[in-house]
């Protein structure tokens, strides 16, 4: 379990993380979402003791990371930027980390096999593709068989097969009762992987809920109606106090009513319907909706 209490990090006048409080629970995959510059990486660096919080605290199972006697056995971390010397082989990189904890060479070989790097384990890491680098980073994180994993953008640079592999791996690790905390800016990916979401923007928590609730709240379902008498139906529904949008003639997008109710109202008004369907907002839409005001670097349209 990871607990952040009023976690704040300032770099000079700039506040990267602004009073974050959250709990990451074991047994599920928790997604950590936010646009670039939202403070995700800084928060993760504070979890593993690389950066010290300006104020507040973050603990893993009740202990600050720097006070853990054997941190690799408690927390495995993959940090966004590469954390590997390009002149060293994958095996030697992992061996050097393993030796600090007295972890055996057999375990080093085991994690190399687990991430599928056996063919290149003795090659210099500088020759690795981004995807292979990520796999090596994940191997480092798994080295001590930790109960908690902190992964910053783990699917970055992975091909579809690699993305599927890590999704399956994370789900399996979570089902074993481990705490899995994964950051991403790929909303669609999180929809498939994460059970719970913590959404941040400009260093603040914007949402902390289950993935399903997040989608429902941030961008509610919309009912799409196609009808030759769209104007009449619109008139009939206006009284219900719903939001009605229209992209094209003859099509209504209605938020706030179910298809059942709309169908009944249409029948009562004698309106012919050609289409009546529910459109669920994607996580991408929900995320855009929520973080619209907190995007750090916004493109000017």
Cα–Cα distance measured from residue 147 to residue 50, given in angstroms and rounded to the nearest whole number: 19
List C-alpha distances in Å: 84 to 105, 134, 149.
19, 10, 18
Sheet bearing 243-245, strands edge to edge: 243-245, 251-255, 222-226, 275-279
Cα–Cα distance measured from residue 161 to residue 294, given in angstroms and rounded to the nearest whole number: 33
**Applying CB under 8 A, does 86 fall inside the site for other proteins?**
yes
Minimum distance from residue 68 beta carbon to other proteins (Å): 7
For other proteins, the binding residues in 10-69 under the rule CB under 8 A are 45, 48-52, 65-66, 68-69
Choices 88-96, 173-181, 216-224, 228-236; region in contact with other proteins by CB under 8 A: 88-96
Give the nearer residue to other proteins in terms of CB position, either 156 or 294: 156
Number of shown-chain residues binding other proteins (CB under 8 A): 36
209 Cβ contact partners less than 8 Å away, ≥ 6 residues apart:
196, 197, 217
254 Cβ contact partners less than 8 Å away, ≥ 6 residues apart:
222, 223, 224, 225, 237, 242, 243, 244, 245, 262
**Applying CB under 8 A, does 87 fall inside the site for other proteins?**
yes
List C-alpha distances in Å: 189 to 154, 245, 284.
11, 29, 9
Minimum distance from residue 207 beta carbon to other proteins (Å): 28
Minimum distance from residue 91 beta carbon to other proteins (Å): 9
Minimum distance from residue 101 beta carbon to other proteins (Å): 5
Among 25, 73, 224, 232, binds other proteins (CB under 8 A): 73
Minimum distance from residue 15 beta carbon to other proteins (Å): 15
For other proteins, the binding residues in 247-286 under the rule CB under 8 A are none
Contact of 224 with 280, CB cutoff 8 Å: no
List C-alpha distances in Å: 97 to 70, 91, 93, 106, 154.
12, 10, 7, 14, 20
**Applying CB under 8 A, does 216 fall inside the site for other proteins?**
no
Among 13, 81, 106, 239, binds other proteins (CB under 8 A): 81
For other proteins, the binding residues in 140-169 under the rule CB under 8 A are 140
Give the nearer residue to other proteins in terms of CB position, either 99 or 118: 99
Of the candidates 189, 143, 162, the residue with the CA atom closest to the CA atom of residue 29:
189
**Applying CB under 8 A, does 83 fall inside the site for other proteins?**
yes
| CA angle, residues 68, 69, 73, in degrees to nearest 5 | 80
Cα–Cα distance measured from residue 294 to residue 35, given in angstroms and rounded to the nearest whole number: 8
Among 72, 158, 215, 283, binds other proteins (CB under 8 A): 72
Among 10, 25, 101, 265, binds other proteins (CB under 8 A): 101
Minimum distance from residue 48 beta carbon to other proteins (Å): 5
**Applying CB under 8 A, does 100 fall inside the site for other proteins?**
yes
Contact of 104 with 95, CB cutoff 8 Å: no
**Applying CB under 8 A, does 79 fall inside the site for other proteins?**
yes
For other proteins, the binding residues in 123-142 under the rule CB under 8 A are 140
Q: How many CB atoms lie within 10 A of CB 279?
A: 11
List of residues contacting other proteins (CB under 8 A): 45, 48-52, 65-66, 68-73, 77, 79, 81-89, 92-93, 95-97, 99-103, 140
């Amino acid at each position: 379990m990871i607990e952040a209490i009023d976690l704040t990090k300032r770099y000079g006048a700039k506040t990267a993380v602004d009073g974050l409080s959250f709990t990451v629970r074991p047994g599920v995959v928790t997604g950590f979402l936010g646009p670039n510059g939202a403070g995700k990486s800084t928060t993760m660096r504070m979890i593993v003791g690389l950066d010290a919080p300006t104020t507040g605290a973050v603990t893993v199972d009740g202990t600050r990371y720097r006070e853990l006697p054997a941190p690799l056995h408690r927390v495995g971390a993959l940090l966004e930027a590469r954390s590997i010397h390009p002149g060293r082989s994958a095996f030697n990189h992992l061996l050097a980390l393993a030796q600090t904890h007295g972890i055996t060479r057999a375990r080093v070989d085991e994690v190399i096999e687990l991430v599928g790097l056996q063919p290149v384990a003795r090659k210099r890491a500088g020759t690795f593709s981004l995807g292979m680098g990520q796999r090596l980073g994940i191997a480092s994180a798994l080295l001590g068989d930790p109960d908690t994993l902190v992964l910053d953008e783990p699917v970055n640079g992975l091909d579809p097969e690699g993305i599927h592999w890590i999704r399956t791996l994370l789900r399996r690790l979570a089902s074993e009762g481990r705490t899995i905390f994964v950051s991403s800016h790929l909303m669609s990916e999180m929809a498939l992987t994460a059970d719970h979401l913590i959404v941040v923007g400009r260093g603040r928590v914007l949402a902390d809920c289950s993935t399903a609730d997040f989608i429902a709240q941030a961008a509610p379902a919309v009912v799409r109606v196609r009808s030759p008498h769209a104007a009449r139906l619109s008139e009939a529904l206006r009284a219900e106090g719903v939001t009605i949008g229209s992209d094209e003639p003859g099509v209504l997008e209605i938020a706030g009513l179910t298809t059942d109710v709309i169908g009944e109202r249409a029948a009562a008004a004698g309106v012919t319907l050609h289409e009546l369907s529910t459109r669920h907002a994607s996580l991408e839409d929900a995320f855009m909706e929520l973080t619209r005001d907190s995007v750090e670097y916004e493109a000017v349209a």
